[in-house]
Amino acid sequence: MTAGRAVTPAVGKALEAGIVVLFVATATTALYGGVVPDARNAAGSEVGERALEHAAAEVEAAVPPSGREAAVERRVSLPESIRDYGYEIRAANGSLVLAHDHPSVGGSTPLVLPDRVRTVTGAWDGGGGVVRVEPHPAGGVVVVLADEPSEVSDR
């Protein structure tokens, strides 16, 4: 009889430990299976939108308000990565497009530029680069997105 009573506390503690381990495993699975990835997707999407809007604002601000002959270079700083992956911002059809490997991150935003801007070309890898405004031989200006600065600078 005493041997049966001596085992009861040990079995009770083992059951308590098993219940705690089961609870922790269930909570961890629920968090990493649904809540945490959803939060990372939402945060990545928000960072992507902000980076794209910041890039568009910098491109628009680089174009001088007046004058047909202009040469300007402006540095643009952007996040190195979004959601732990690299990305690219490129010019396409009067807009900036963010391309990313994850489907929750990406998008495009139109550029609001004066009529004298003939084209916008180029791309930046994550981290940004420079935006150059160069005179076009036929009049007006061309906007170029590049990873490396040139000799011309407005700063």
Structure tokens at 134: 């160069």
**Contact between residue 105 and residue 48 where contact means Cβ atoms under 8 Å apart:** yes
Query: How much is the average pLDDT of 8-37?
Result: 78
Residue with the larger pLDDT of the pair 3 and 44: 44
Query: How much is the average pLDDT of 43-59?
Result: 92
| Residue count of the chain | 155
39 Cβ neighbours under 8 A, 6+ residues apart: none
pLDDT value of position 28: 77
Place of tokens 């497009």: 97
Structure tokens at 126: 């994550």
Mean pLDDT of the chain: 84
Q: Is the pLDDT of residue 98 over 80?
A: yes
pLDDT tier at 54, thresholds 50, 70, 90: very high
pLDDT value of position 67: 63
SS3 content of the chain, % helix, strand, coil (to 5): 40, 30, 30
3-class state of residue 102 by DSSP: coil
How remote is the C-alpha of 40 from its chain's centroid? 12
pLDDT tier at 153, thresholds 50, 70, 90: very low
What digits encode the pLDDT tens for the residues 118-137?
999 999 998 889 999 998 88
Residue with the larger pLDDT of the pair 149 and 77: 77
Q: Global pTM?
A: 0.71
Rounded to an integer, what distance in angstroms lies between the CA atom of residue 37 and that of residue 89? 24
Domain boundaries, the chain: 2-146
